[in-house]
Amino acid sequence: CLGADLKERAKMDDAEVGLFVRRLRNLMDEIAALPVPTIAAIDGYALGGGLELALACDLRVAASSAKMGLIETTRGLLPGAGGTQRLPRCVGIGLAKELIFTGRQIDGQQAFSMGLVNHSVPQNSEGDAAYQRALALAKEILPQAPFAVKMGKLAINRGMEVDIASGMAIEGMCYAQNIPTRDRQEGMAAFREKRPPRFIGK
């Protein structure tokens, strides 16, 4: 994903551009708020809005040959769909500023070394190495208790927005919601009985 169609954007007036970017930001926020884990697989380009889309996901996997960057400053723009907020939370303020200020493109291995992606894999002959690794990662998550994963995601996301004491309170509230679930009881029973749990998401 190479981001917005700049030829289309050039035909918009200022008000239309503002509305377009607000809608795009809202879409990225909705993706980030999904109650299930999301994984971005980057096998080719993720530039501008494409990288902002990947940043809105919980996890990112990239082929080592993938190209990504928040390149908006090279076009007289700045990231407007969450990039200025999500990138620093992912790689740290200094690296985020460097990448945004320069508009630099990086490959999958560089992205992995700075913590932008969880995994970098060599590209395969089919061109879907990141997708295949993302699928394997999803298969690792799938057998886990759905409600516990949902609450874990909520606790992490909300906790990152506040001080640690407030974050601990958020974790406590999420944990309290998980206590009465049938899946928690099933997990404990499966452990006692030395068998795999059969979670149902309740």
Structure tokens at 78: 């700045």
E strand spans, 151-199: none
Distance of CA 131 to the CA centre of its chain: 15
- Residues 148 and 184 sit within 8 Å (Cβ to Cβ): yes
Q: Which of 4, 46, 129, 134 is catalytic?
A: 4
Q: Which of 49, 50, 82, 83 is catalytic?
A: 49
Q: Which of 41, 67, 58 is nearest to 130 (CA)?
A: 41
49 is catalytic: yes
Q: Which of 134, 157, 168 is nearest to 54 (CA)?
A: 134
Q: Which of 41, 72, 134, 145 is catalytic?
A: 72
186 is catalytic: no
Q: How far apart are the first and last CA of the chain?
A: 36
Q: Which of 3, 50, 52, 62 is catalytic?
A: 52
81 is catalytic: no
Q: How far apart are CA 134 and CA 142, in angstroms?
A: 12
155 is catalytic: no
Active site residues: 4, 49, 52, 72
